[in-house]
Amino acid sequence: MTEKKNNTALKILTGILAVALVALSIYTIKFYNEEKENKEILQKEKSVIEDELNELIVKYDDAIEENEIMDQDLVNARDRISRLLDSVQDNEANLVLISRYRREIGNLKAEKDRLFRVVDSLSAQNQMLSTSLDSTSVALEQRTKLSDSLQTTNQSLSTKVDKASRLKITSLSGEGVIVRNSGKLVENDNNRRVDQIRTCFTITSNDLADAGEKNMYVQVYNPENELVGDELVVQHEGGTMVYSAASKVFYENDELDVCILANTNEDRLLEGNYKVYVYNDAVLLGNGSFTLN
Strand bridging mode 272-280 / 283-292: antiparallel
What's residue 259's pLDDT?
Answer: 96
Asked if 122 contacts 69 with a C-beta cutoff of 8 angstroms, the reply is yes
**Contact predicate 77/63, CB 8 Å:** no
List the chain domain ranges: 2-109, 167-292
Task: Please identify, in words, the CATH class of the domain defined by 167-292.
Answer: mainly beta
Per-residue model confidence (pLDDT) at position 157 = 45
The pLDDT of residue 117: 77
232 in Cβ contact with 262 (< 8 Å): no
Average pLDDT, 10 consecutive residues per value, the chain (293 residues):
67 68 57 56 74 79 68 75 74 68 74 73 65 60 57 52 80 94 90 92 94 96 94 92 96 96 91 96 94 93
> What pLDDT, on a 0 to 100 scale, did the predictor assign at position 149?
55
The pLDDT score that the predictor gives to residue 120 is: 67
